[in-house]
Amino acid sequence: MLYSEKVMDHFRNPRNVGEIENADGVGQVGNAKCGDIMRITLKIDDGVVTDAKFATFGCGSAIATSSMATEMIKGKPVEEALELSNQAVVEALDGLPAHKLHCSVLAEEAVKAAVKDYYDKHGITYDPKLFCNMDCEGCHAHDGE
Amino acid sequence: MIYLDNAATTKTSPAAQQAMLDCMEQFWGNPSSLHTPGQRAAEALAKAREEVASCIGASPREIYFTSGGSEADNQAILSAALLGKRKGKTHLISTAIEHHAVLHTLARLEKEGFSVTLLPVDESGVVKVSDVAAAIREDTALVSIMFANNEIGSVQPIQEIGALCREKKIPFHTDAVQAAGHLPIDVVKQNIDMLSLSGHKFHGPRGVGLLYVRKGLPLLNLIEGGAQERSKRAGTENLPAIAGMAVALKEACDHLEENARKEIVLRDRLIEGLSKIPHSALNGDRERRLPGNVNFCFEGIEGESLLLLLDDKGIAASSGSACTSGSLDPSHVLLAIGRPHEVAHGSLRLTLSEETTREEVDQTIQAVTEVVARLRAMSPVWDELQKGVRPYVIQ
């Protein structure tokens, strides 16, 4: 099979699908042209991610990585959510095929984008180096378009 | 399992399987050997050659068995290009929607200094004969245009293009991999100089195909070695596969009209049912299309997840999405008919066989409708389309 049981489970029964109304942080990354867009919305109380939801346009692994990423950051302090790496998402899913690794990068970037949005909205100062430039890494084929 | 991926491959028919077993049991000799087992194999080979030739209106001496459609395409194009070059002709004409066996062979020749014209197709995926005429130059060595497209099923005006090439004295090759056994083929009437087909698209085995080359037209080898296939394709013949293909092609051609009639009714039912999904569009021509081909784009979703969820519901289908092609770009065919990237990612190909039933079609319509709705419900693209943030491409 192309995907692990874990990936298929998160694809078939995605956790945290939807959108949080009046979210404290919203992150949307990817490009429809490339076939992947993820939007993650966060509810943050006292610096803790109390809820996370996602909406994803993309392949099976894009949906599964979004689902897993939201599971992994729920209940965590914002600083810990920021440390979520794409490798950690891949490991939690028992691996991804090599050509699907970019989906996990997108999931990591969506979480970071949502946290950045939370910081910006709430006037919280941060080191800009914490965030990538949101230049969709999963989208090398269309760079410059 | 509802199998609707017959353009990828078909289930080998019982008669083809039996023919293959017979070869392995009884005609296992080497057809090049002079002893009795060898000569019995040679007879079986000759019989298979006669059968396939009669199915496409050719004579047996015009048939060269190959390892499949890709090899036949490669040989036809490389041979015509190299023979053309000897006469100073280094221009090749084809279309933007060919199979990669043709496109990649042309790209290789382009690197070697040939110039290649890839003709566009209209929005229904059909090439214009007038475009072919306009592209022909003094130094054109070959025109290669597929009989029918493998993704969107559009059928090309082969007979007219053939007549044009005949008049201009340019060799004309057609990749008929999807057409053979499904559409009437007569190489004489349709003015075809070279034609490729593959065994496993009409319930024959894979790993076997053939190249038809009109008598009198020279042909160069891809594979050098022994004198098999009139010295044009070396290697001991894969007789079980050849015999299986011949039986399957004969079966398909004997029932061609009956099968097509049946498939067209179901195809049109499927098209009608899927058209009811909002913001969906049929790819390819409504009329000029293969009897078993249905191809749709659904806005706001991605094809791989669509295939996986359909598989969960017991439906085997295919998509032109980048994720399923192993590249970052979606299908070159969908792009060529003007579908933007984001819509091409959401494509679904369903290809029927004569064994497909009405119940299967109805179940498929229901399953696709449900799965598309489910994926749209979690798609931020669909959300933006619905909110008017992003304009619909498909109305």
Mean pLDDT, chain B cut into blocks of 10 residues (395 residues total): 97 98 97 97 98 98 98 98 98 98 98 98 98 98 98 98 98 98 98 98 98 98 97 98 98 98 98 98 97 98 96 95 71 96 95 98 98 98 96 93
Clarify whether A59 is annotated catalytic: no
CB contact under 8 A, A35 and B381: no
The candidate with the shortest Cα–Cα distance to B311, out of A77, A113, A11, A58, is: A11
Is residue B317 included in any domain, yes or no?
A: yes
**Cα R_g (chain A), whole angstroms:** 14
Whole-structure pTM value: 0.94
Q: Which amino acid is at B245?
A: M
B175 and B311 both lie in a single domain: no
B289 and B243 both lie in a single domain: no
Range of the domain at A42: 5-127
A130 touches chain B (CB under 8 A): no
Is residue A40 included in any domain, yes or no?
A: yes
CB contact under 8 A, B378 and A17: yes
B202 and B286 both lie in a single domain: no
Nearest-10 Cα torsion for B310, B124, B97, A141: -60
Range of the domain at B218: 14-254
CB contact under 8 A, B378 and A56: yes
Distances (CA, A) of B60 to A41, A123, B4, B51, B215: 67, 81, 34, 8, 10
Residue B72 makes CB contacts below 8 A (sequence gap 6+) with B64, B66, B196, B197, B198, B209, B210, B211
**pLDDT class of A119 with cuts at 50, 70, 90:** very high
Q: For residue B345, list chain A residues with Cβ-Cβ distance below 8 A.
A: 32, 35
**pLDDT class of A139 with cuts at 50, 70, 90:** very low
A63 touches chain B (CB under 8 A): yes
Distance CA B292, CA B208 (A): 22
B239 and B277 both lie in a single domain: no
Is residue A142 included in any domain, yes or no?
A: no
CA distance B73 to chain A (A): 29
Say how many domains are in chain A. Answer: 1
String of DSSP letters for B186-243: -TTTTT-SEEEEEGGGTTS-SS-EEEEE-TT-----SS-SSSHHHHTS-S---HHHHH
Report the chain A residue with the minimal C-alpha distance to residue B346. Answer: A35
Distance CA B96, CA B108 (A): 15
Is residue A68 included in any domain, yes or no?
A: yes
CB count in 10 Å sphere of residue B394: 17
B147 and B101 both lie in a single domain: yes
CB contact under 8 A, A37 and B380: yes
DSSP for residue A4:
-
Residue B114 makes CB contacts below 8 A (sequence gap 6+) with B81, B85, B90, B91, B92, B106, B141
CA angle at residue B178 from B4 to B328, to 5 degrees? 70
What was the pLDDT predicted at A135?
52
Contact A68, A17 (CB under 8 A): no
CB contact under 8 A, A17 and B379: no
Residue B165 makes CB contacts below 8 A (sequence gap 6+) with B132, B143, B171, B172, B191, B193
B239 and B271 both lie in a single domain: no
Distance CA B390, CA A42 (A): 23
The candidate with the shortest Cα–Cα distance to B346, out of B293, B285, B292, B281, is: B281
Task: Select from B226, B254, B282 the last residue of a domain.
Answer: B254
Task: Select from B254, B272, B289 the last residue of a domain.
Answer: B254
Is residue A136 included in any domain, yes or no?
A: no
The candidate with the shortest Cα–Cα distance to A49, out of A19, A21, A70, A27, is: A70
Is residue B234 included in any domain, yes or no?
A: yes
What was the pLDDT predicted at B394?
93
Which of B312, B326, B345 is closest, CB to CB, to A12?
Answer: B312
Task: Select from B254, B281, B296 the last residue of a domain.
Answer: B254
Is residue A26 included in any domain, yes or no?
A: yes
Distance CA B294, CA B280 (A): 13
CB count in 10 Å sphere of residue A135: 10
Which of A8, A56, A99 is closest, CB to CB, to B326?
Answer: A99
What was the pLDDT predicted at A141?
40
B221 and B248 both lie in a single domain: yes
| Cα A41 from chain centroid (whole Å) | 10
ipTM passes above 0.85: yes
CA distance A88 to chain B (A): 22
B242 and B275 both lie in a single domain: no
Phi and psi dihedrals of B310, rounded to 5? -70, -40
B211 and B141 both lie in a single domain: yes
CB count in 10 Å sphere of residue B354: 21
CB contact under 8 A, A32 and B342: yes
Test the A interface: residue of B305, B307, B312 with most A CBs within 10 Å = B305
Is residue B348 included in any domain, yes or no?
A: yes
Average pLDDT over residues A5-10: 97
CATH classification of the domain holding B283: 3.90.1150.10
Which of B303, B323, B380 is closest, CB to CB, to A55?
Answer: B380
**Cα R_g (chain B), whole angstroms:** 22
Report the chain A residue with the minimal C-alpha distance to residue B312. Answer: A12
Q: Quick: pLDDT tens for A50-98.
A: 999 999 999 999 999 999 999 999 999 999 999 999 999 999 999 999 9
CA distance A139 to chain B (A): 8
Is residue B393 included in any domain, yes or no?
A: no
Report the chain B residue with the minimal C-alpha distance to residue A62. Answer: B305
CB contact under 8 A, B380 and A17: no
Residue B238 makes CB contacts below 8 A (sequence gap 6+) with B65, B67, B207, B208
Beta bridge partners of A44: A49
CB contact under 8 A, B305 and A11: yes
Contact A6, A13 (CB under 8 A): no
CA distance A31 to chain B (A): 9
Is residue B267 included in any domain, yes or no?
A: yes
Taking phi over 0 as left and psi of -120 to 50 as alpha, with beta for the rest, B143 belongs to beta
Distance CA B22, CA B45 (A): 12
CA distance B351 to chain A (A): 22
B227 and B279 both lie in a single domain: no
B108 and B243 both lie in a single domain: yes
Is residue A78 included in any domain, yes or no?
A: yes
CA distance A124 to chain B (A): 27
Report the chain A residue with the minimal C-alpha distance to residue B304. Answer: A59
Report the chain A residue with the minimal C-alpha distance to residue B302. Answer: A58
Residue A27, CA atoms < 13 Å, CB-side half-sphere: 30
B147 and B59 both lie in a single domain: yes
Is residue A66 included in any domain, yes or no?
A: yes
Is residue B3 included in any domain, yes or no?
A: no
CATH classification of the domain holding A18: 3.90.1010.10
CA distance B379 to chain A (A): 5
Say how many domains are in chain B. Answer: 2
Test the B interface: residue of A57, A66, A145 with most B CBs within 10 Å = A57
Test the A interface: residue of B378, B383, B389, B393 with most A CBs within 10 Å = B378
Q: For residue A38, list chain B residues with Cβ-Cβ distance below 8 A.
A: 380
Is residue A14 included in any domain, yes or no?
A: yes
Is residue B314 included in any domain, yes or no?
A: yes
Is residue B7 included in any domain, yes or no?
A: no
Distance CA B303, CA B318 (A): 8
**pLDDT class of A145 with cuts at 50, 70, 90:** very low
Q: Which residues on chain B place their C-beta less than 8 Å from a C-beta of chain A?
A: 300-305, 308-309, 312, 321-323, 326, 328-330, 340-342, 345, 377-383, 390
What was the pLDDT predicted at A132?
57
CB contact under 8 A, B302 and A58: yes
CA angle at residue B70 from B69 to B75, to 5 degrees? 100
Clarify whether A132 is annotated catalytic: no
H helix runs in chain B, sequence order: 14-26, 36-55, 69-86, 100-111, 129-135, 158-168, 228-231, 239-254, 256-275, 303-312, 322-325, 332-336, 341-344, 358-377, 380-387
Q: For residue A60, list chain B residues with Cβ-Cβ distance below 8 A.
A: 304-305, 308, 323
Report the chain B residue with the minimal C-alpha distance to residue A66. Answer: B378
String of DSSP letters for A16-85: SBS--TT-SEEEEEEEGGGTEEEEEEEEEETTEEEEEEEEEES-HHHHHHHHHHHHHHTTSBHHHHHT--
CB contact under 8 A, B328 and A34: yes
Distance CA B342, CA B38 (A): 57
Share of chain A above pLDDT 70, in %: 90
Average pLDDT over residues A33-47: 94
Q: Which amino acid is at A25?
A: G
